[in-house]
Amino acid sequence: MPRSYLHIMVAVILMSLGVAGGSSGQADPQNPRPPASIWRQPMNAPASLTDAPVPLETNDPRFHAYFSKVRERIKATWTYPSAAGQRGIEGEVVVEFRIAKDGHLVSADVWRSSGATILDDYSIRAVQTAAPFPPVPDDLAKEILTIHSTFRYSLRSVGPSPK
């Protein structure tokens, strides 16, 4: 690639359930609904006081204030691995993490891998480094709040078009 091009690594933290019909990651053939998206809240999305995961980008107003704080803490620690960028590695990782009532991180695991260990590791590290989080409000969880967060790693070339 010519040196005159400016390469910008774009890493946008987004959240979605990542599935539309079960924990297998595959769409349910009996249910023709499109997969979950960051642009709309999936029907029947868990957003309750149970231990069911809640997407970090949920549209449920009960979670807005607390999730904004969590998201900002993660964004402050999250980076695109330079080794991955140099090798052109892109991908999407879904991390499931659990926050205790007092804000400490109970666990952080790859729920859906990008297929690139380096991206998976950096996503987990971002969540771990962001902890501890603010205490979880009583109206959001009884004991532990489980969250799914999607980390998207994308390389984009920005600059003049080749002539």
DSSP string, 50-117: SSS-EETT---HHHHHHHHHHHHHHHHH----HHHHHTT--EEEEEEEEEETTS-EEEEEEEE--S-H
Percent of the chain surpassing pLDDT 90: 62
Q: What does the domain layout of the chain look like in residue ranges?
A: 7-18+50-158
pLDDT at 48 over 60: no
Select from 3.40.1160.10, 3.40.50.300, 2.60.40.10, 3.30.2420.10 the CATH code of 7-18+50-158.
3.30.2420.10
Residue 3: predicted pLDDT: 36
pLDDT at 38 over 50: no
- Between 24 and 32, residue with greater pLDDT: 32
Beta-carbon contacts of 127 under 8 Å, excluding residues fewer than 6 positions away, are 74, 95, 97, 105, 108, 149
Residue 73: count other Cβ atoms within 10 Å of its Cβ.
18
Confidence label for 156 from pLDDT (cuts 50, 70 and 90): confident
Residue 5: predicted pLDDT: 30
pLDDT 10s digits, 85-139: 999 999 999 999 999 999 999 999 999 999 999 999 999 999 999 999 999 999 9
* pTM, entire model: 0.67
Asked if residues 36 and 103 have their Cβ atoms less than 8 Å apart, the reply is no
The mean predicted confidence, pLDDT, of the chain is: 76
